[in-house]
């Protein structure tokens, strides 16, 4: 029996039951968020709060990039709900990253993008990472060098190469994101690349590439690595 236009939805129309019958891919964004919210509160039903969440951020990309403090500002979203939402998006990013096996060699910028793109695409700030590689170009360790506006004066080679030396890295690859989504390198990106490439040559740990990641795109700065 169907629900009345003004009553609660029939059990078979509720997101949980639809997920069981049809699978998660069949659910709309609001329904998926409703399931993460769980139960309603005095501030509204779970579906009402889900609509507020979507309306507050406007798009899935902006919601995925939001921190818990921003989520908690939505009427009806508390600490526990914000934590569930943030955890769900982080699981999605990690699942996407897992498509590239951890021991897969880094043969070129596409391999860097496959590995780092999913976890950096929703970052609200620039993150500068170094991938430390062994002689077979497999990643020994990922190092987060800095988070925030990329500035050549703030990127100290010792922060990158100290770990590279201690880990016995043979080579390394630099990677950072542009939160705007446009991976076009800036003058600072190129300055950092040249600075760290020079340090790598001096230490005998070559920098193989610097990959700038945007939304669905990337740019390699390998051409900036040569001296001169």
* pLDDT above 80 (res 100): no
Span 153-168, pLDDT tens digits: 567 788 889 999 989 9
- Look over the chain and give the mean of its residue pLDDT values, rounded to a whole number: 84
> pTM value?
0.61
Alpha-carbon distance 129 to 109, whole Å?
Answer: 14
**pLDDT-based confidence at residue 8 (cuts at 50, 70, 90):** low
Domain boundaries, the chain: 11-97, 109-224
Whether 11-97 and 109-224 share one fold: the answer is: no
Q: Which architecture, in CATH terms, is 109-224?
A: 3-Layer(aba) Sandwich (3.40)
What does the DSSP assignment read for 107-140?
-SHHHHHHHHHHHHTT-SS-EEEEEEE-TTS-EE
* pLDDT above 90 (res 206): yes
Q: Which architecture, in CATH terms, is 11-97?
A: Orthogonal Bundle (1.10)
H or E element at residue 177:
strand 171-177
């Amino acid at each position: 029996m169907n629900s009345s236009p003004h009553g609660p939805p029939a059990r078979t129309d509720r997101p949980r039951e639809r997920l069981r019958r049809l699978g998660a891919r069949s659910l709309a964004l609001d329904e998926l968020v409703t399931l993460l919210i769980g139960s309603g509160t005095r501030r509204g039903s779970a579906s009402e709060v889900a609509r507020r969440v979507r309306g507050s951020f406007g798009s899935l990309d902006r919601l995925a990039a939001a921190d818990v403090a921003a989520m908690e500002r939505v009427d009806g979203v508390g600490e526990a709900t914000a934590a569930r939402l943030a955890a769900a998006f982080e699981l999605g990013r990690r699942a996407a990253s897992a498509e590239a096996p951890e021991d897969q060699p880094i043969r070129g910028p596409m391999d860097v993008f496959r590995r780092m793109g999913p976890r950096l695409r929703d970052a609200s700030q620039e993150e500068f990472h170094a991938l430390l590689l062994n002689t077979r170009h497999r990643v020994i360790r990922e190092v987060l060098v800095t988070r925030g506006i990329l500035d050549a004066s703030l990127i100290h080679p010792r922060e990158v190469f100290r770990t590279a030396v201690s880990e016995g890295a043979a080579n390394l690859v630099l990677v950072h994101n542009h939160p705007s989504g446009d991976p076009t390198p800036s003058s600072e990106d190129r300055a950092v690349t040249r600075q760290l490439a020079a340090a790598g040559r001096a230490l005998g740990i070559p920098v193989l590439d610097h990959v700038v990641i945007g939304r669905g795109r990337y740019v390699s700065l390998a051409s900036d690595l040569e001296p001169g």
